[in-house]
Amino acid sequence: MDILKVRGLSKVYGGKVSYKALSDIDLTIENGDFVGVMGPSGSGKTTLLNMVSTIDSPTTGEIRIGGKNPHELKKNELALFRRRELGFVFQSFNLLDTLTVEENIVLPLTLDGVSVKEMDEKVIQIAKKLGITDILNKRTYEISGGQAQRTAIARAIIHSPKLLLADEPTGNLDSKASRDVMELLETINKNDGTTMMMVTHDPLAASFCNRVIFIKDGQLYNEIDRGDNRQAFFQKIIDVLSLLGGGAYDLSSVRM
């Protein structure tokens, strides 16, 4: 089954001078897939993710998530839909620093009126899975970037969303923490079957996906599949990126 169907999607930003950030995008993501989105800076990646996550609405075209068009929902239905069906991970973690790690993780459940007992059980389980059991009582300013991102991932998946959307989840992490986060996302995708769509600049992070789509100037440019060899996939990603140009990628520092 397809979890996400995007048809003829375009986005024009208004303002003094209008700007067409996306034109006529078609994209289908099957249940359980892990899709990377790459492309030069300004190519429209975040715009695409924001349309899918319903943060912003399309100018033309249609998005269906699990058969529903979220942009047709009423405001309160949309809030529920986002909270129940989607999970979000951002480059900047977006944790609340007045709360502990645990309080941040259960926040979505608190909003949904889940019992304390059930929340406690879920936190223990998820913290174990993400290796953050020891820091549950810390405040977010007392933890590392990698721990912060794992906390953000825990918060994004604690309600078992159908679709996890991530915008540069490794953008603020060093290479070790990046790899840890990617291995974790890969495990969650494989074991829980959570469908993922992830924007990234990092070819190594992208090589953990099953499939990578490339966007250039607001249009789909290319798409490649992982197959069974991650090393070869990584090389293919690099090749497409160098064809894409834009000088946005410094590949000299990239290491497997």
Ligand X SMILES: Nc1ncnc2c1ncn2[C@@H]1O[C@H](COP(=O)(O)OP(=O)(O)OP(=O)(O)O)[C@@H](O)[C@H]1O
- Distance, C-alpha 63 to centroid of its chain: 17
Residue nearest to Mg ion (CB): 46
Bridge partners, residue 12, by sequence: 20
Measured from the CB of residue 26, what is the shortest distance to ligand X in angstroms?
A: 17
Strand segments, DSSP code E, in the chain are: 2-13, 19-30, 34-38, 60-65, 86-90, 163-167, 195-199, 211-216, 219-225
Contact, 213 vs 200, CB < 8 A?
Answer: no
Contact pattern for Mg ion over residues 38 through 67, marking x by CB under 5 A: --------x---------------------
CA–CA separation, 66 and 241 (whole Å)? 31
- What minimum distance in Å lies between the beta carbon of 13 and ligand X? 3
In the complex, minimum distance from the CB of residue 156 to Mg ion, in angstroms, rounded to a whole number:
18
Total interface residues for Mg ion by CB under 5 A: 1
Does position 210 interact with Mg ion (CB under 5 A)? The reply is: no
Give the contact letters, 85-124, x = binds to Mg ion (CB under 5 A), - = no.
----------------------------------------
The residue ranges that bind ligand X (CB under 6 A) are: 13, 15, 19, 21, 39, 41-47
- 3-state DSSP helix/strand/coil % of the chain, to nearest 5: 40, 25, 30
List residues binding Mg ion (CB under 5 A).
46
